[in-house]
Amino acid sequence: MTAVASAGIRFHPGSLLVPAEAVHTTPLGYDRDDIPIGAPLPLAACTELVQRLSGCGEVVVAFEGKLGDTLLALSGVRAVLDWLRLRSVRVAVRAVGPYAGLIARTGLIPQPQANPPSGWRAVIGDRTGIEAQGSTAAVSLVLDPAAPPCWSTDGRAHPDLPARHYLAMERRLGIRLPATAAFAPTLAIGPNNLVEELRSVGWLGDLNIAAITATSWPERKDYTAQRYITLAENIAEAQQTQARLLLIGGNPGGGLRITAEAPRRHVQVLRLDGMPADDLADLFPHCHLIVGNDTGLTHLAAMARGREYSGPPVIGLYARHSHSKWRTGLPHHHAVATDLSNRMHQGDLCPVRDAIAPDTDVHMDVFPATALAQVGLELLDGVRP
C-alpha cells in the first residue's frame, strides 16, 4: 500500500495479495492448492443442492437488481456451471432480464444444443430475478452480496465479492472447482457503431481518459465532473499533450445524450449521459485510463477486456465502503481509499449493514485531484503494478 496524498488516503493495487492474518476472515476449511481439480473437499457437500442440480436439464441466469451486484455475482454462476461440467451434467443455459446481453459476453452461456437435455430447471441470480421466474424451478440459488464472508485459505484472504461467491458455491457443492483468482469472468468486446463514430471524429485519441460520474448515491459518491476535469488537466499537462476526457453519466430519463464542451487548454471534454451498458463495455477497452466511484459502471469497466485480455487500468474511489470487497479482484482494478474504507476492509464490515457512523462526514472531496492524477500518471507509465 502506498500513500497517495494527505494522511489516510492510500492506493491499493489490484494485484496485491492480502495475507489471511491481516484482515477478519472465515477459514475456508481446506487448502485449495493441495486439492486436485474435481476431487472431493474435506467438507460435506449440500446433499439436497447436489441432488437437484444433478437432475437439471436447464439453468436460467436471472438478475434484475443493481448492475454492480450482478457483475460481481457472475462468479457464482461460473461456479455452478464449472461444477456441472466436472460432473458431466448436460444442461441448456440461458440468461434472461436486463443484463442478458452482458452475461452472454462472459462466455458462460454455451451455444444452444440441437437436442436440449431434459430434466428439472434451476434458476440462479438475485432475489428479484428469481422471483420473476416464478416458483416452478427445482432449485433456486440466490447470490446475495451480503451473504458470503471473506474467505481465507492457503494463508491468503479472498476479500473481493467474485471470490466470495465462487468459493461459497464450491464449499456447498463439495468438490474442488477449477477457477483460481481472479474469479470474476471478463466481458468480451466486439464491433460497435457508436464507438467507431467516436473514433472517426477524434474522441479516441492519443490520451483518452474515461471518468464515471453516474451513481445511485450522488450525495455520497459523486466525485463531480469538475474534479475529473482537473485530474485530466494535470495528467495532460504532465505528459505535454491534449487529453480527451469522456465523462460517463447516468440515464437522465431521455435516453442517450452526447454533449461536447468548449475545449480547454489541455483537455477536451465529451459528456456521455445514458449510454447503454452494452455500448460502454465496447468503449471502455479503447480508453487509456478509467477512474470512477464505487459503482456498477466502474466494475463494468474493469471486466470489459479486449483481445488478449487487453484494456486500461481502472481506479475505483472508496470513501466509505470496503475497497477490497467491492472490487472485481482483477489485477488491473485498483483502489484509492480512505482510512474508513480500509477499516471496513480489515474488519469485513459495512457502514450501512452494520450501522457504523463515520468519525467525520466523509465525502468524495477527500480525494485530491492532483494526487489522483499522480496515481494515474504512474499507472500510465507502468511505474505502479
**Tens of pLDDT, residues 99-139:** 999 999 999 998 877 677 788 999 999 999 999 998 889 99
So where are the chain's domains?
Answer: 2-15+188-380, 31-185
HEC states along the chain? CEECCCCCCEEECCCCCCEHHHCCCEECCCCHHHCCCCCECCCCCCHHHHHHHHCEEEEEEECCCCHHHHHHHHHHHHHHHHHHHHCCCCCEEEEECCCHHHHHCCCCCCCCCCCCCCCEEEEEECHHHHHHCCCCCCEEEECCCCCCCCEEECCEEECCHHHHHHHHHHHHHCECCCCCCCCCCCEECCCCHHHHHHHHCCCCCCCEEEEECCCCCHHHHCCCHHHHHHHHHHHHHHHCCCEEEEEEECCCCCCCEEEECCCCCCEEEEEEECCCHHHHHHHHHHCCEEEEECCHHHHHHHHEECHHHCCCCEEEEECCCCCCCCCCCCCCEEEEECHHHHHHHHHCCCCCCCCCCCCCCCCHHHCCHHHHHHHHHHHHCCCCC
pLDDT single digits (tens) 270-295: 999 999 999 999 999 999 999 999 99
Query: With 60 as the cut, is the pLDDT of residue 7 above it?
Result: no
What pLDDT band is residue 359 in, cutting at 50, 70 and 90?
Answer: low
Predicted local distance difference test score (pLDDT) of residue 370: 95
Query: With 80 as the cut, is the pLDDT of residue 369 above it?
Result: yes
Predicted local distance difference test score (pLDDT) of residue 2: 46
pLDDT single digits (tens) 58-82: 999 999 999 999 999 999 999 999 9
Q: Among 18-22, 93-97, 147-151, 364-368, which is the least confidently predicted range? A: 364-368
pLDDT single digits (tens) 78-108: 999 999 999 999 999 999 999 999 999 999 9
Predicted local distance difference test score (pLDDT) of residue 64: 97
Fold of 2-15+188-380: Rossmann fold (3.40.50)
Averaged confidence pLDDT in the chain: 92
Predicted local distance difference test score (pLDDT) of residue 215: 74
pTM of the model: 0.95
